[in-house]
Structure 1
Amino acid sequence: MYMKTLYGLADGNSGEPIRTSQVAEAMDVSAASASEMLKRLGGKGLLDHEPYKGVHLTEEGLALAARVKRREGLMEVFLVQMLDFDGDVHDAACRLEHALTDELELAIDRLLDYPEATPSGEPIPQVRRDIDADLSHLLLPLKALPEGVLATVEMLVLDGVERRTLSEQGLHAGAEIRRVQDVFEVAGIEVQISDSLQARILARTC
């Protein structure tokens, strides 16, 4: 939480040092608690301290804070767009963010078609996306699966009716699938999958 808060404060401070009082107010903690945590983060190389003025995020600290903010933003979009979640989206995303690995973050980014903002309009920190010529072992939404590449279905973010309908056509977790022009081939059978469903089915290339 502190790193995410520091990222937001740094973004709004236009390069000026972040004061302990700002952190305490944003985190709703005492100045003493905020000061102690800032010292710990500084000891880890995440903050630089400017005497009598405040702190700055180091390059390492900024990268870590941006990653936390980015993953939380991706999870907010995932919860709203993919799960139609109507609970406390921000709180749920904050909890889920901690469980994301680098690979899962990339897969969810692809699944959501590389969102730039959360459902509330807050910008999501962007990263450089390298295009890997080696297509093996990539986790992709079906909409991004290149033609002719064999993949194994790993995740289906579907409701019960959608899941049963596709399962009857042989499409389920563990099934091998290949794009052939405008359709998909599953166990030798051609299956039509809508663009909406393609975005919610993840498969790993073989």
Structure 2
Amino acid sequence: MSERSLYLPALYIVEHRQQPPVAPGRVAELVGRTPATAIEAIHRFDDEGLVDYEPYEGVELTRRGREVAADLHETYVTLSWFLRSVLELADCEGRCEWRAS
């Protein structure tokens, strides 16, 4: 799984749960990585114009970043639906959090 498909949807989800800017540690927690690893990815996304990052303030998706993250999130939701509905894999009944392997 690429950094983009891991961190951007996580940031997208967190931004929907709380007002940005978001602490990088919260994103790291959601994807099961260390805050330092998340900050490295966030710096790259900042260089690409996908996020605005201010140390000690937090990170926020840019308009372009939000579009990319929304597409990735939609893909994740579609695949999740396919795995549960079409392949009839067991649902975790609300006890699961989205985590990358």
TM score, norm. by length of structure 2: 0.74
**Could you list the runs of 5+ residues in structure 2 that have no partner in the other structure?**
1-5, 95-101
Matched, 1:34 2:32: no
> Counterpart of 2:52?
48
* Residues 1:41 and 1:77: Cα distance change in structure 2 (over 3 Å): same
Q: Deviations over 1:6-50 (max 9, x none)?
A: 111111112x20112212222222221111111011111100123
> Counterpart of 1:3?
8
Pairing 1:18-97 to 2, within 5 Å after superposition: 18-81=22-85, 83-86=86-89
- Residues paired across the two proteins, number: 89
> Counterpart of 1:179?
none
Matched, 1:12 2:17: yes
Deviation of 1:57 after TM superposition, in Å, equals 0.1
More helix by share: 2
What amino acid does structure 2 have at the position aligned with 1:60? R
What amino acid does structure 1 have at the position aligned with 2:88? F
TM score, norm. by length of structure 1: 0.39
Q: SS of the counterpart of 2:12? A: helix
Q: SS of the counterpart of 1:49? A: strand
**Could you list the runs of 5+ residues in structure 1 that have no partner in the other structure?**
91-118, 121-206
Deviation of 1:52 after TM superposition, in Å, equals 2.1
Q: Deviations over 1:113-166 (max 9, x none)?
A: xxxxxx96xxxxxxxxxxxxxxxxxxxxxxxxxxxxxxxxxxxxxxxxxxxxxx
More strand by share: 1
> How high is the sequence identity, in percent, across the aligned residues?
29
Q: Which has the larger radius of gyration?
A: 1
